[in-house]
A and B are shown apart, each in its own frame.
Chain A
Amino acid sequence: MSKNLEQKIMSQIKTGKIKLRSKYIFLAEKLGLNSALVLTVILAVLFFSLVLFYIRATDNLEYLSFGKDGLLAFLESFPYLLVVSFILFLFLAGFIITKTNWSYKKPFKYFAVSLIVFVLIVGTVVAWTDISERIEEQAFGNHALGKFFRPFINRGIESRNRGMTGKIYEIDSDYLILETPRGFEKISLLKLLCPDKSINCQDQFEIGQFIIAVGKREDNIFIADKIQIASEERFPPMIRRGIHRQFSPFLNNYLFDNHSTNTLPLPLHLLNFDEPTNKCLAQCFQDKIHPRECFEKCVE
């Protein structure tokens, strides 16, 4: 058998039937694996930092200050997609480690623990730099990289059914008009539970105040059960920046001055009311009437 086997293999080598695989294939495999590992670890770090950033910069945790009334709003605004993506990248990094040439030298649990500790520490550090804020800025801008992150970040400023945050633009006896990252929104005070029964609930509000509310959305109106007034420092920065992005083009115009002759048309996408109200407001703005008067006229 011995001579025979040697001859069989060598004749196949000599005739070129069996060829050496190119060294570049092995190089590419090695580089590909290492690059994939580095990339997934970076993404795991980045997504963990974004989870922390999201929790710090959005209304998510604020709802817990309402106690059990804020639980649904907290769960609704939780960054599930970010957390799931972070876990997936962590698992992927672990899986790639098992495919490397060196991973067998130590039990996998050492690599798993090291990986988790590394990602958590670096992710926490990154969360306190301005990287996450830049990603947010790009996500809401027109950058290509930002578009990738938009689905993950956008949840921070999306409309919620159980919670609402915004800046008071207009106060009426039974409703507030809020500036939110999505535009103007109406918040009904009809079911508001006032801790202090001696005063009218709406008397505690002032134009320009930041509020956080829990309640229930019915069509285009948010019916508040409880409202907290937040200082500008406490108010979730991502929501504050969202409001600024939406309303900044009008900051020096009629939205905030009483009557200005130099008015910009108010974009209709900022109106989140029912259809007749939206139409009425659009017409009113076209007539260059001050928005506050328009709200008084059109919002019921």
Chain B
Amino acid sequence: MKTSKLTDEQLVKIIREKDKELYSEIIKRYQTKLSHYLKKFIYDSDELEDVLQMVFIKSYRNLYGFDIHKKFSSWIYRIAHNEAINHLKKNSKGQISLEEVEYKIIDEKINLHEEIDRNLLKEKIDKLLTNVNLKYREPLILFYFEQKSYQEISDILRIPKSTVGTFIKRGKEILLNLCQKI
């Protein structure tokens, strides 16, 4: 059986009941995604690796706590979110560093270029996003950069779906206000 054809949920079922070594496939599937997500909260690469390792260890230990009728990605993102919050409580220094593709997303989807010069935006947006309250920053990141749906964000952050929409809207407003102040 080719593991690559299995869904996350099917894979988890097999890991729990038959083959623990298949957990490496989960790591392969999520390492880059979670690393990308955690970079928005953890700025030091060594610390990021430690947190990421903790996410995979906690996820493995608690595999029986996952309901296979739900979405695994939301579940593991939830663990990553908790670990990121724990990390931020201990260490809040630093600044987000965005990737090229993310600048493009901000440029196209958040439409900040009307408020600010494109070059200046690229220069400042990392800092501005870092200054957005975590409560609004997280839904923004999950929606725009991780391309999660409202339902998935609701499951990851444990907030009502309607609140996700409100937070994203509010987050954008805050970001726009910060842009205007530049």
Question: Which residues of A does B touch, CB under 8 Å?
Answer: 1-2, 5-6, 8-10, 12-14, 18-23, 25-26, 104-107
Q: Chain B interface secondary structure, helix, strand, loop or mixed?
A: helix
Collect the chain A residues with CB atoms within 8 Å of residue B161's CB.
Answer: 105
Known: A10-B23, A105-B161, A107-B163. A20 touches B64 (CB 8 A): yes
The stretch from B3-11, B51-59, B81-89 touching chain A is: B51-59
Is B61 a contact partner of A12 (Cβ separation < 8 A)? no
Is B64 a contact partner of A6 (Cβ separation < 8 A)? no
Complex: A6 Cα to B57 Cα, angstroms: 11
Question: Which residues of B does A touch, CB under 8 Å?
Answer: 16, 20-21, 23-24, 27-28, 31-32, 45, 49, 52-53, 56-57, 60-65, 154, 158-163
Is B61 a contact partner of A19 (Cβ separation < 8 A)? yes
Q: Chain A interface secondary structure, helix, strand, loop or mixed?
A: helix
Collect the chain A residues with CB atoms within 8 Å of residue B31's CB.
Answer: 2, 5-6
Is B21 a contact partner of A14 (Cβ separation < 8 A)? yes
Complex: A13 Cα to B23 Cα, angstroms: 9
Among candidates A1, A14, A21, residue contacting B64 with C-beta atoms closer than 8 Å: A21
Is B64 a contact partner of A22 (Cβ separation < 8 A)? yes
Complex: A8 Cα to B65 Cα, angstroms: 23
B35 to chain A, nearest CB (A): 8
Among candidates B27, B45, B158, residue contacting A104 with C-beta atoms closer than 8 Å: B158
Collect the chain A residues with CB atoms within 8 Å of residue B163's CB.
Answer: 107
Known: A6-B27, A107-B163. A13 touches B32 (CB 8 A): no
Is A104 a contact partner of B23 (Cβ separation < 8 A)? no
Is B49 a contact partner of A5 (Cβ separation < 8 A)? yes
